[in-house]
Amino acid sequence: DTGVSQDPRHKITKRGQNVTFRCDPISEHNRLYWYRQTLGQGPEFLTYFQNEAQLEKSRLLSDRFSAERPKGSFSTLEIQHTEQGDSAMYLCASSLVSQGGEYNEQFFGPGTRLTVL
């Protein structure tokens, strides 16, 4: 257990439905990342937050995807009008980046496995 939690762990939905995932990072971490991972691939970056500000979003990411981190603590990732191609593991990670820019490792949550039928 890394201290990062995600909910739900599994989600099965029908094509066209909306889904929302939640991530609770390690409390003192200021950065929160969302990734998507399919079998045999490394994590694919989706977006990240520095505190409550969303600083970057992948250019490959469809407008159907949106993420929030309203109080700089937990985050939600919503996928609207799901498609079968959205089936993947959605990973959340958090890290602490100091003011000096020192980079520390990302701690991953267990992931949410999404299956779109």
Binders of another protein among residues 43 to 62 (CB under 8 A) are 43-45, 48, 56
78 closest CA partner among 29, 18, 25: 18
| Closest distance to another protein from the beta carbon of 47 (Å) | 11
Q: 72 vs 110, which CB is nearer to another protein?
A: 110
84-to-26, 29, 107 alpha-carbon distances in Å: 31, 33, 28
Compute the distance between CA of residue 73 and CA of residue 93 in angstroms, rounded to an integer.
12
Nearer to another protein among residue 33 and residue 65 (C-beta): 33
- Under the binding rule (CB under 8 A), the answer on residue 26 touching another protein is no
Question: In 15-111, where do the E strands start and end?
Answer: 19-24, 31-37, 44-50, 53-57, 65-68, 75-79, 88-95, 107-108
Subset of 62-101 contacting another protein (CB under 8 A): 91, 97, 101
Between CA 82 and CA 63 the distance in angstroms is 12
- Nearest approach, Cβ of residue 16 and another protein (Å): 27
Name the minimum Å distance from CB 86 to another protein. 19
Binding residues for another protein (CB under 8 A): 2, 33, 40-45, 48, 56, 91, 97, 101, 103, 105-111
